[in-house]
Amino acid sequence: MNKLIAVSAFALLLGACGQKDAEPVAAAQVPAEAPDTVAMVDEHSPEQEAAEQRSGLILEYMDTKVRPGDDFNAFVSGTWMATAVIPPDRASDSVGLMVHEQSQANVKVIIEEAAAGDFAQGTDEQKVGDFYKSYMNMETRNELGTKPLAAEFSAIDTLEDRKQLAIYFADANKIGVGVPFSLNQYVDFKDPNTYMMYAYQGGLGLPDREYYFEEGEKAEGIRQAYVAHIEKMFGLAGLPDGAAAAQTIMALETRMAAEQMKKEQTRDMVALYNKIPLAELPALMPNFDWDDYLKAAVISDIDGLVVMQLDYMRALDGIIQDTSVDVWKTYLKWAVLNANAPLLSAAIDDQNFDFYSRTLQGIEQQLPPWKRAVAAVDGNVGEVVGKVYVARHFPPEAKAAMLELVNNLIKAYEISIKELAWMSDATKVEALDKLSKFTPKIGYPDNWKDYSALEIREDDLVGNSHRSALFVYEEHAKRQAGPVDRSEWGMTPQTVNAYYNPPLNEIVFPAAILQPPFFDLNAEAAVNYGSIGAVIGHEIGHGFDDAGSTFDGDGVLRNWWTDEDKAEFKKRTAKLVEQYSQFKPFDDLAVNGEYTLGENIGDLGGLSIALKAYHLSLNGQPAPVLDGYTGDQRVFIGYAQGWRGITRDEALRQQIATDPHSPRQYRVNGVVRNVPEFYEAFDVTETDALYVPAEERVKIW
């Protein structure tokens, strides 16, 4: 669980650029330490640079028998894709995974040093080492079985009425157990200087609400497998009546899923922001005991909270009321078991893997224990590790160089906005104001988290996880009155990803992603602009996508558009929705153009602006030709190289169902076909498969 921002809507809102491979760390596509060659003003000519640097193209991975205009992804990576084999413990293989593996190996060294040392109780090293050892000690985990959950099971058994049920919902939420709705702290959309509590729909064991209703043999097979999985888990945990419990749980989850907001609708930030004074909550859910819930949640003194799905909460009130307490007990025991399964015995952990990884994603075997342990440490005390990681693997000059490159992309965006033909001057003023207020965060936080109040024990993995979650929750409760900590990060430095955060108007690039092959110190600038530059542009672009564009330069949720410009923006984005909705990786499944819109806007704007920034970097000099390719061609190839990857069919289906990012091949082919310079660079004509008539190409930013 991401203990900083646990609500899935906020993960979407943050606009993380990566896609998941096989574990909670996303495989992303961002940059690295930028050299002098990326500066807008450079003492060296492109010809001099070319003599000193190589192209950065991975020629052996290209399939030049494919016309670029037919399938640019295959043209750039086709030879690699033809022979690549997905590791048996992964859902996919990609450039991002390669960088992640290197980061994880570096982190392993740091963690194992802590685990091997004799550090005083309470020190950072002790916490890191003992958390790792508690995960790796499978002998103790097997001996304990589900004993670490005994206190939670006992608390559930004592529930007698819906008043106590409401209290338990609040308590379970604090330790990361999925209940029908979650409550989490985040920056207030309307006042980014203060914090707000947000209630968000939840409580489902399948990845998305559509899994409960989708028709077809595959969908029905997954539902049957889920019910069978619950029954097996009940048996392994020593809980009674597993078969009946599984049917009961599935029925209740299906009923909740039917009332939940569809994922496409969760992109509408204006519709999600429904602040309700505490005194008015009973009008929304008259049968729910809000007073005791809020008291247990330690927020009874706030003036209100944001309920993000009003219709669902109204319906949930009735579901809670006419579902027996005994049924809720069965459901809650499953919620506790399911949330903690990867931390329990090998048998329970393996069964959890069998359904969520093998059945849903096609992954053949578990990751090695040390990789899972490293991920667990990262997810709980990650900044302790990050502090050492940065000292060893991220030199100070890299941070300064990266900041310079970000500024170059912002300058290119500024020029592009000023030149937009479809936007009025009034809206341009607001857009440029927002652009001028972007805050870049590079590498690592200025202020590190203080974990001194967190207790970690060598022999208590589940307890470590619960105390870690509770520690974060309590820290957030203490700061609820504000002010907002603008130095806080939503990712650790060793995370291979990047994100945009609208209420704080910040773009964030952790240290681990700022390295080759996303940025190649020895490559000529074009490939770097195509890879690192496009991703920086992607994150900036999230500030102007369908969700991010509803926030102004100060991070306030407000409409800064004229009516005419907003209508034109929606017209252009609707064309992008239509384009991506036509992509079908399977005969029976298409990309969800509406749900992926924000990421597609980011991709299109990112590449377009990166190309403009590359042109600016040439300072009027002609681009060199390297390895037979022009500068513009190398920008496009560099972009596609960053998306090199293959994915298992099962995992790809799950991605389309749950991930706001389009599949990799469409993040290449779906983007380049809308960029006019692509047609010129590769002589694309109307006979090519990717050809889109000029009047149908989408240009937003």
Going by C-alpha positions, the residue among 682, 665, 625, 690 that lies closest to residue 19 is 665
Q: At what angle do helices 631-641 and 72-83 cross, to 10 degrees?
A: 50
Which residues fall within 8 angstroms of residue 490, CB to CB, at 6 or more apart? 2, 4, 5, 14, 499, 501, 508
Residue 3 is predicted with a pLDDT of: 36
Residue 685 is predicted with a pLDDT of: 98
CATH 3.40.390.10 fits 8-14+47-106+373-696, yes or no: yes
Residue 8 is predicted with a pLDDT of: 42
**Paired tokens of 21:** 């491979």
| pLDDT greater than 60 at residue 558 | yes
- Per residue in 255-296, pLDDT (tens digit) is 999 999 999 999 999 999 999 999 999 999 999 999 999 999
| pLDDT greater than 90 at residue 241 | yes
**CA separation for the pair 675, 425 (Å, rounded):** 24
**CA separation for the pair 13, 547 (Å, rounded):** 7
| pLDDT greater than 70 at residue 36 | no
Beta carbons of 385 and 512 less than 8 angstroms apart: no
Model confidence band, residue 166 (pLDDT cutoffs 50, 70, 90)? very high
DSSP result, 11-68: HHHHT---EESSSSSEE--------GGGSSS-SS-HHHHHHHSB----GGG--TTS-T
Model confidence band, residue 4 (pLDDT cutoffs 50, 70, 90)? very low
**CA separation for the pair 451, 463 (Å, rounded):** 16
Question: Which residue in this structure is represented by tokens 């599984």?
Answer: 246
Model confidence band, residue 10 (pLDDT cutoffs 50, 70, 90)? low
**CA separation for the pair 466, 149 (Å, rounded):** 10
| pLDDT greater than 60 at residue 332 | yes
Beta carbons of 214 and 502 less than 8 angstroms apart: no
Model confidence band, residue 27 (pLDDT cutoffs 50, 70, 90)? very low
- Mean pLDDT within 59-79: 98
DSSP result, 605-643: HHHHHHHHHHHHHTTTPPPPPBTTB-HHHHHHHHHHHTT
CATH of domain 149-343: 1.10.1380.10
Beta carbons of 431 and 544 less than 8 angstroms apart: yes
Report the chain's mean pLDDT, rounded to a whole number: 92
User: Domain-by-domain residue ranges, the chain?
Assistant: 8-14+47-106+373-696, 149-343
**Paired tokens of 308:** 């993000």
| pLDDT greater than 50 at residue 338 | yes
- From residue 416, give the alpha-carbon distance in Å to each of 168, 503, 525, 593, 598: 53, 24, 20, 25, 19
Sign for the pseudo-dihedral over CA of 349, 352, 356, 362: positive
Q: Please, how many CA atoms are within 13 Å of residue 218, restricted to the half-sphere of its CB?
A: 12
Q: Please, how many CA atoms are within 13 Å of residue 305, restricted to the half-sphere of its CB?
A: 28
Which stretch of DSSP H or E encloses residue 402?
A: helix 396-419
List strands edge to edge, sheet with 439-443. 439-443, 506-510, 499-501
Beta carbons of 311 and 344 less than 8 angstroms apart: no
- Mean pLDDT within 326-341: 98
- Per residue in 585-602, pLDDT (tens digit) is 999 999 999 999 999 999
Which amino acid type is present at position 379?
Answer: G
What's the Rg (C-alpha) of the chain?
Answer: 25
**CA separation for the pair 306, 65 (Å, rounded):** 55
Going by C-alpha positions, the residue among 575, 632, 241 that lies closest to residue 422 is 575
Beta carbons of 383 and 445 less than 8 angstroms apart: yes
Partnered with residue 501 across adjacent β-strands are 506
Annotate 235-280 with three-state secondary structure.
Answer: HHHCCCCHHHHHHHHHHHHHHHHHHCCCHHHHHCHHHHCCEEEHHH
Residue 621 is predicted with a pLDDT of: 95
Residue 129 is predicted with a pLDDT of: 98
- Per residue in 346-382, pLDDT (tens digit) is 999 999 999 999 999 999 999 999 999 999 999 999 9
Percent of the chain with pLDDT over 70: 92
**CA separation for the pair 482, 473 (Å, rounded):** 15
Euclidean distance between the first and the last CA atom of the chain, given in angstroms as a whole number: 35
Could you tell me the pTM of the whole model? 0.92
DSSP result, 135-174: HH-HHHHHHHTTGGGHHHHHHHHT--SHHHHHHHHHHHHH
Going by C-alpha positions, the residue among 131, 119, 173 that lies closest to residue 455 is 131
| pLDDT greater than 90 at residue 526 | yes
**Paired tokens of 338:** 């399911």
The stretches of 454-594 forming alpha helices (DSSP H) are 461-478, 525-528, 534-542, 563-581
Question: Which residue in this structure is represented by tokens 């967190």?
Answer: 454
Partnered with residue 155 across adjacent β-strands are none
- Per residue in 117-157, pLDDT (tens digit) is 999 999 999 999 999 999 999 999 999 999 999 999 999 99
CA dihedral 64, 66, 69, 72 (to 10 degrees): -70
Model confidence band, residue 231 (pLDDT cutoffs 50, 70, 90)? very high
Beta carbons of 578 and 571 less than 8 angstroms apart: no
- Per residue in 461-515, pLDDT (tens digit) is 999 999 999 999 999 999 999 899 999 999 999 999 999 999 999 999 999 988 8
Partnered with residue 94 across adjacent β-strands are 645
Residue 519 is predicted with a pLDDT of: 79
Residue 20 is predicted with a pLDDT of: 56
Residue 404 is predicted with a pLDDT of: 79
| pLDDT greater than 50 at residue 5 | no
